[in-house]
């Protein structure tokens, strides 16, 4: 399913949405829907060269979003993956071409060559000065007589737009754009095809495979290759691009999102390219960004342009279309030293046999309860409470010989640090806060019972939960209240609190707050159950020492 009204109105609806939200971008469209779909500048000076580009829709933001100062004068939009009509291209040329003439840029597909070509000839027959640049940067099939044009067209449009904005004549603008088009190389790879509006997706790429050298219109890739991760995919493209590119001292790189690749993935892929052995040759970077997409294809493409001083100046010059990320220089990540507090030496280990035995026993109890707590959590959460507390218990148990056990405040502080590093999720952070606050209280001379109560107060303040909210606090709070009467009483209070959570109709904090009451009924909160299980286990065979 897709958010469309219908295939027939999809492109015109999208163009109008673009224009309605464009603010002061000085954009308009030619009257002539639905056959003529042209977005153009309203501030173009007729004495300057006009830049017209376009093609089928489905590659957004290309090309309508690149109409603006320093880029395109007009963009001609076809239906999804279909070339614009001859009349649409002709209308665009005639609408924006003045004394300065017009440069028409399009990608090397048969429909575009024919439709753009005939429109250009009609305009020339009427006395318009029009030059043509055809982009054919795809190196997927190196021996094909007519390579496809893909995302590298962005570099060509930027170079042409720069020289047109500077007032260069048509011959110069066309020559610079043509040189960029001739020097460009691009290649793409994808883990999926795209979803055609109203038709669906062809799931032709099996798990563990990727299509290398696929087309922008969902055409199958040239090769079906093993997918071994982001690094391998990035390096395959980098190696092939540099092998095909003209030698140069430095290059500009475009990292283009083909549609549905997440920003996290795109940044990772960019890092793999720039950190590779070829990365040092890349001086300028455009992206990572979605510039020439293929609807929702899960893939990316790379484009390389050998840099000259003229190209570098053109690429770095300002441009004002709706969607144009700044081209930046490739720099290595800078490092800032950690704060001194992060480098503080750990407290010196000290012994306390009684405390060591207590902590070790507590860890054993939680490790043994891992499976039962996971099963309980699976009913109201994501099924990992047991694994979370067991992982922390294993880490704490292993760290015991290195911990400062002789002083309670330092032990609490060390426990906080251990939990913050080993226990995932919000529960780990909350317990780390609990023991950190307890440490601060104990260092001020408070008893261990008072220190734990101070930890609970801070935990509730930061976590936003209180007794009755169906969290671990429903077991911790009554247990601390009963602790002065002995560990057995504290365990009973924790058990009563944990059992009470099964009767609570809703959770007001924690992951269970996202679960409906019908799914919570009769199920105890896993965190509260972990606390009750721990205290019950400790109560069997351990006596609370005198404070």
Q: Residue by residue, what is the 3-state secondary structure of 3-41?
A: CCCCCCCHHHHHHHHHHHCCCCCCEEECCCCCCCCEEEE
Above pLDDT 70, what percent of the chain? 95
**Which residues span the domain enclosing 34?**
10-329
**How does residue 415 score in pLDDT terms, banded at 50, 70 and 90?**
very high
Secondary structure element (H or E) that encloses residue 528, with its range: helix 526-539
Q: Which of 269, 294, 329 is the last residue of a domain?
A: 329
What would the two tokens of residue 123 be?
Answer: 């305009």
Across-strand partners of 328? Answer: 285
Per-residue confidence (pLDDT) for residue 142, from 0 to 100? 81
CATH number of residue 313's parent domain: 3.40.50.10440
Q: 382 and 286 in one domain? A: no
For residue 183, pLDDT over 70 is answered with yes
Looking at residues 500-515, what average pLDDT do you find? 63
The residue with greater pLDDT, 532 or 222, is 532
pLDDT of residue 1: 82
Q: Residue 520 above 80 pLDDT?
A: no
In the chain, pLDDT over 90 holds for what percent of residues?
80
State residue 509's pLDDT score. Answer: 52
Long-range contacts of 16-20 (CB under 8 A, 24+ apart): 18/64, 18/65, 18/322
**From its phi and psi, is residue 209 left (phi > 0), alpha (psi between -120 and 50) or beta?**
beta
Q: Which of 191, 186, 145, 164 is nearest to 52 (CA)?
A: 164
* 227/115 same-domain check: yes
Q: Where among 298, 329, 360 does a domain terminate?
A: 329
Is the model's pTM score more than 0.85?
no
Strand ordering across the sheet containing 74-80? 27-29, 38-41, 74-80, 50-57, 102-107, 130-135
CA distance readout (Å), 488 to 262, 501, 540: 52, 20, 8
Residue at which a domain ends, from 284, 300, 329: 329
Looking at the fold, whether 267 and 373 belong to one and the same domain comes out as no
Using the predicted structure, report yes or no on whether residue 287 has a pLDDT greater than 50.
Answer: yes
Instruction: Say whether both 436 and 396 belong to one domain.
Output: yes
Would residue 69 count as lying in a domain? yes
- What CATH number does the domain containing 366 carry? 1.25.40.340
21 shares its domain with 55: yes
Give the pLDDT band of residue 542 (cuts 50, 70, 90): very low
User: Tell me, what's the pLDDT at 377?
Assistant: 87
Question: In this structure, is residue 163 part of a structural domain?
Answer: yes
Average the pLDDT over 48-69 and give the result: 97
Distances (CA, A) of 431 to 67, 509, 541: 54, 15, 25
pLDDT tier, 506 (very low <50, low <70, confident <90, very high otherwise) = low
Tell me: do 420 and 467 sit in the same domain: yes
Looking at residue 508, its pLDDT comes to: 55
Whether residue 49 contacts residue 93, with contact meaning beta carbons closer than 8 Å, is answered with: no
Q: Is the pLDDT of residue 523 over 90?
A: no
Instruction: Name the burial class of residue 45, with classes exposed (0-12), middle (13-18) and buried (19+) by CB atoms within 10 angstroms of its CB.
Output: middle
**Residue 535 to residue 523: CA distance in whole angstroms:** 20
In this prediction, residue 513 has a pLDDT band, given cuts at 50, 70 and 90, of very low
For residues 488-509, give the mean pLDDT.
85
Q: Tell whether the model's pLDDT for residue 511 goes beyond 70.
A: no
Domain count, the chain: 2
In a domain, 255, yes or no: yes
Q: Is residue 524 part of a domain?
A: yes
**113 confidence band (pLDDT: 50, 70, 90):** very high
Is the same domain home to 363 and 274? no
**Residues with active-site annotation:** 217
Mean pLDDT, residues 72-83 taken together? 97
Residue 192, burial from CB neighbour count under 10 angstroms (0-12, 13-18, 19+) = buried
CB-side exposure of 269: number of CA atoms within 13 Å? 30
State how far the Cα of 124 lies from the Cα of 135, in Å rounded to an integer.
Answer: 21
**What confidence score (pLDDT) does residue 344 get?**
63
Could you tell me if residue 75 is inside a domain?
Answer: yes
Digit-coded pLDDT (tens) for 302-339: 999 999 999 999 999 999 999 999 999 999 999 999 89
Report the alpha-carbon distance of residue 329 to residue 405 in Å, rounded. 53
- Residue 443 · residue 482 · CB < 8 Å: no
Query: What pLDDT score does 487 carry?
Result: 92
How far is 20 from 317, CA to CA, in rounded Å? 27
DSSP, collapsed to helix, strand or coil, labels residue 495 as helix
Per-chain mean pLDDT for the chain: 92
Q: What is the largest CA-CA distance in the chain?
A: 104
Question: Stretch 1-25: mean pLDDT, rounded?
Answer: 93
Q: Same domain, yes or no, for 242 and 377?
A: no
- Nearest Cα neighbor of 481 from 451, 459, 449, 457 is 449
In 375-471 the beta strands, taken as DSSP E runs, fall at none
**Confidence tier at 516 by pLDDT (50, 70, 90):** very low
Residues 33-61: what's their mean pLDDT? 96
Task: Give the closest residue to 250 by CA, choosing from 291, 283, 296.
Answer: 283
Token readout for 159 is 């170079």
- The DSSP line for 132-186 is EEEE--B-SSTT-SSPPP-TTHHHHHHHHHHHHHTT--HHHHHHHHHHHHHH-EE
Q: Taking residues 427-435, report their average pLDDT.
A: 91
Does residue 504 register a pLDDT over 70? Answer: yes
User: Considering the domain boundaries, does residue 195 fall inside one?
Assistant: yes
In this prediction, residue 507 carries a pLDDT of: 53
Residue partners of 525: CB distance under 8 A and separation at least 6: 380, 470, 471, 472, 474, 498, 501, 502, 504, 507, 510, 512
**Is position 135 within any domain?**
yes
Position 514 confidence tier, pLDDT thresholds 50, 70, 90: very low
Residues 302 and 383 occupy one common structural domain: no
Residues 19, 108 within the same domain = yes
Indicate whether 276 pLDDT > 90: yes
Q: Give the distance from CA 536 to its chain's centroid.
A: 45
- Residue 99's pLDDT is 97
pLDDT, position 372:
94
**What separation in angstroms does the CA of 87 have from each of 7, 8, 49, 108, 340?**
21, 18, 21, 19, 69
Do the domain assignments include residue 535? yes
Task: For residue 507, give the DSSP letter.
Answer: -
pLDDT tens-digit series, residues 448-489: 899 999 999 999 999 989 999 899 999 999 999 999 999 999
Please indicate, yes or no, whether residues 384 and 260 belong to a single structural domain of this protein. Answer: no
pLDDT at 546: 43
Specify the pLDDT at position 217: 87
Q: What is the mean pLDDT of residues 76-90?
A: 97
Confidence of residue 519 (pLDDT cuts 50, 70, 90): low
Give helix 353-368 / helix 385-399 axis angle, nearest 10°.
150
Residue with tokens 């500048």: 41
Q: What is the rounded distance in angstroms from the CA atom of residue 526 to the CA atom of residue 394?
A: 19
Same domain, yes or no: 300 and 367: no
Angle at 292 between CA 288 and CA 294, to 5 degrees: 110
Binned at pLDDT 50, 70 and 90, residue 5 comes out as very high
């Amino acid at each position: 399913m897709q958010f469309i009204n219908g295939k027939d109105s999809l492109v015109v609806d999208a163009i109008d949405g673009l224009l309605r939200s464009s603010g002061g971008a000085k954009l308009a469209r030619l009257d002539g829907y639905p056959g003529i779909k042209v977005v153009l500048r309203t501030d173009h000076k007729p004495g300057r060269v006009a830049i017209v580009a376009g093609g089928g829709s489905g590659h957004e933001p290309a090309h309508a979003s690149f109409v603006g100062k320093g880029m395109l004068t007009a963009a001609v939009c076809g239906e999804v993956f279909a070339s614009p009509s001859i009349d649409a291209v002709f209308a665009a040329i005639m609408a924006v071409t003045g004394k300065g003439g017009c440069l028409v840029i399009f990608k090397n597909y048969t429909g575009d060559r024919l439709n753009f070509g005939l429109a250009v000839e009609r305009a020339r027959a009427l006395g318009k000065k029009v030059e043509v640049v055809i982009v054919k940067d795809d190196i997927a099939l190196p021996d094909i007589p007519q390579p496809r044009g893909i995302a590298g067209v962005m570099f060509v449009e930027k170079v042409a737009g720069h020289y047109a904005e500077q007032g260069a004549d048509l011959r110069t603008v066309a020559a610079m754009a043509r040189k960029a088009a001739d020097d460009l190389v691009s290649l793409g790879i994808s883990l999926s095809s795209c979803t055609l509006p109203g038709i669906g997706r062809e799931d032709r790429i099996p798990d563990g495979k990727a299509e290398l050298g696929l087309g922008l219109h969902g055409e199958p890739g040239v090769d079906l290759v093993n997918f071994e991760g982001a690094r391998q995919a990035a390096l395959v493209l980098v190696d092939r691009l540099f092998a095909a590119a003209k030698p140069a001292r430095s290059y500009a790189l475009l990292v283009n999102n083909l549609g549905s690749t997440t920003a996290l993935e795109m940044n990772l892929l960019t890092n793999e390219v720039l950190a590779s052995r070829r990365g040092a040759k890349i001086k300028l970077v455009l992206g990572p960004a979605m510039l020439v997409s293929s609807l929702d294809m899960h893939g990316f493409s790379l484009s390389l342009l050998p840099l000259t001083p003229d190209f570098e100046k053109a690429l770095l010059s300002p441009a004002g279309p709706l969607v144009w990320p700044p081209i930046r220089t490739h720099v290595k990540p800078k490092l800032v030293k950690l704060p001194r507090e992060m480098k503080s030496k750990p407290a010196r280990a000290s012994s306390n046999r009684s405390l060591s035995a207590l902590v070790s026993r507590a860890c054993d109890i939680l490790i043994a309860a891992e499976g039962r707590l996971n099963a309980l959590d699976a009913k109201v959460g994501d099924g990992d409470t047991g694994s979370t507390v067991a992982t922390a218990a294993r880490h704490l148990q292993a760290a015991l010989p290195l911990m400062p056990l002789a002083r309670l405040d330092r032990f609490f502080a060390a426990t906080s640090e251990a939990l913050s590093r080993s226990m995932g999720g919000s529960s780990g952070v909350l317990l780390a806060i609990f023991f950190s606050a307890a440490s601060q209280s104990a260092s001020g001379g408070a008893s261990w019972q008072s220190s734990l109560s101070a930890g609970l107060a801070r935990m509730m303040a930061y976590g936003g939960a209180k007794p009755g909210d169906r969290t671990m606090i429903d077991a911790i709070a009554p247990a601390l209240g009963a602790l002065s009467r002995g560990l057995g009483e504290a365990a009973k209070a924790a058990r009563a609190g944990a059992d009470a959570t099964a009767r609570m109709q809703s959770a007001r904090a924690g992951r269970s707050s996202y679960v409906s009451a019908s799914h919570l009924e009769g199920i105890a909160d896993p965190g509260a159950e972990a606390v009750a299980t721990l205290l019950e286990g400790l109560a069997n065979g351990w006596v609370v020492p005198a404070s």
